[in-house]
Amino acid sequence: MPDAPSFRLRNTLTREVEPLVPSQTDADGTPVLRFYSCGPTVYSYAHVGNFRTFLTADLVVRTGRALGWRVDYVSNVTDVGHLTEDDVADGGGEDKMARALASKEGEAFANVWDLARHYTDALLSDWRSLGLIEPNVRPRATEHVREQIRAVEGLMERGHAYETEDGVYFHVPSFPDYGKLSGNSDAERLAAGAAGASREVVQDESKRDPRDFALWKKDPGHLMQWFSPFGWGFPGWHLECSVMAQKYLGETIDLHGGGEDLTFPHHECEIAQAEALTGEPFARMWIHTRFLQVEGEKMSKSKGNFLTVRDLTATPEEGGREDWGAPVDPLALRLLLISGQYGKPFNLTKKALADAAKNRQRYAEALEAVREAGESGPAGDPEITEGLRETLDDAYADALDGMADDLNTPVALAAALRGANTILSVARQPDGLSAPAAQAAMEYLQRVDDLLGIVGLAADGADEDDSADPLAEEIDALLAARQQAREDKDWARADALRDEIDALGIVVMDTPSGPTWRRK
């Protein structure tokens, strides 16, 4: 096997593709990557554009692990403080959580806390269905208000923040490096907004500078409030991520990620807060995922092209979009969303989704062929087995090289598919896959699944593991009853059975070939 490649990413901070080098090691010398990636605001279902960004983070983790690293991965949940007018540093408008509660969909919830729990659970369900790796820590903003208050106090003590009747503000002129990530350093442009818009951003006449942004907001009408030395209120959106990243990963982290819309103002403000507080660099590298379009247009509800994961993976009876071919295999959707390199805009189309489903099917067929051969296959020709192993090793090495080269997923996916097609080609020969060849093929599929998450080995939990599960018989019976209820168009009973299955800690995945399940 060749030596492991160097992992290189485009660093938004320097605008250059640079080696990603973990700054710490374990006691045994294993490199430790400390990685924070911004999660969603849980006021609604996360859309496919959100998940394209989450998948970028997932691929960073998988590639780091493939290189032999330990990855300490933290991704947050924002459940307070994110306002609707967030395109400038000191955003205004309503809190997104409160606005969602006041909407028609929000009528289903008793309070904003229930709404947050519902959409967080939905996020986790979609997360698992697409095979994303669970972060080591998934902190929630509302569970770290104490730490955020302490950070505000520290910034005030150091002369970087001040209090008014309406809140506590970070004083941008006190941090000369403000703008180094986004390039938005011109005072007049910052005062007008990231895009140079002319709208007024001074919402508190007591602010010392129009660019200053809120660390703590005093709003007696806000639904979620905490007591602080500055009075009752709630933390600003930008504060939570810098505080939680440093709590779980240390003062200086190796890599921070998110969508390109977060570069300014969110990430710019994170840097200012964190570095003003500690005097140390906050993140050594930054990675940002470009926007997703649908059929060449910006995604929006008004255009009818706003797509969530469940729009594409649920059955029509459960809300899936028939016009998009739902239900789509979740791993086909995953394959599609990672098929474009993260640093370039991505256009999601129906044709591309259909093509992804065909490629995903190749992996399913290869896995089925390998399992059918198993250990009972013939001994076969050792030269054929060795030739297959070498071909698969080369395919995997090319896939890993692609991922290490700034997450070049088109290259990696082409190499991985080459290996799957080779397995199918051998399996369709008169002698089929020998037992040793099947073993080599399974090892390859496992490595590809670990790297790209598209084979389905992690999702299906392996047949033998399901059969050994003490609840397997009960769950299979419930699934069969639910399937019958759906065929009878008894949707209330089908929903009730799914809730019963969910209460057992089971995730149900509806696929074109029928429902499958695994533990949460």
Tell me the domain boundaries of the chain: 9-289, 298-460, 465-519
DSSP H/E element including 502: helix 491-503
Give CA–CA dist 476/515, Å, rounded. 10
Q: How far apart are CA 470 and CA 260, in angstroms?
A: 45
Identify the pLDDT of residue 462. 39
Q: At 508, is the secondary structure helix, strand, or coil?
A: strand
Q: At a CB cut-off of 8 Å and minimum separation 6, what does 210 contact?
A: 191, 201, 202
Nearest by Cα to 235 from 344, 148, 160 = 148
Rounded to whole angstroms, how far apart are CA atoms 408 and 421?
20
Report pTM: 0.86
Instruction: Please list the pLDDT of the chain residue by residue as tens digits (520 residues).
Output: 467 899 999 999 999 999 999 999 999 999 999 999 999 999 999 999 999 999 999 999 999 999 999 999 999 999 998 887 877 788 888 889 988 999 999 999 999 999 999 999 999 999 999 999 999 999 999 999 999 999 999 999 999 999 999 999 999 999 999 999 999 866 555 555 444 433 344 467 889 999 999 999 998 888 889 999 999 999 999 999 999 999 999 999 999 999 999 999 999 999 999 999 999 999 999 999 999 999 999 998 888 899 999 999 999 999 999 999 999 999 999 999 999 999 999 999 999 999 999 999 999 999 999 998 875 666 667 888 899 999 999 999 999 999 999 999 999 999 999 999 999 999 998 888 888 999 999 999 999 999 999 999 876 543 444 445 667 778 888 888 888 887 777 777 877 887 788 777 776 655 444 566 766 4
What the block records as the tokens of 216 is 């703590």
For the chain, give the number of residues. 520
In sequence order, the β-bridge partners of residue 516 are: 509
- Whether the CB-CB separation of 59 and 131 falls below 8 Å is answered with no
Give the model's pLDDT for residue 244. Answer: 97
Q: Tell me, what DSSP letter sits at residue 229?
A: T
Among left, alpha and beta (phi > 0; psi -120 to 50; other), residue 179 is left
CA end-to-end distance (rounded Å), the chain: 35
Closest CA to 306 of 316, 295, 317, 318: 295
Instruction: Extract the tokens encoding 6.
Output: 């160097």
Q: How many C-beta neighbours within 10 Å does residue 485 have?
A: 18
Give CATH for domain 9-289: 3.40.50.620
| Protein fold of 298-460 | Isoleucyl-tRNA Synthetase; Domain 1 (1.10.730)
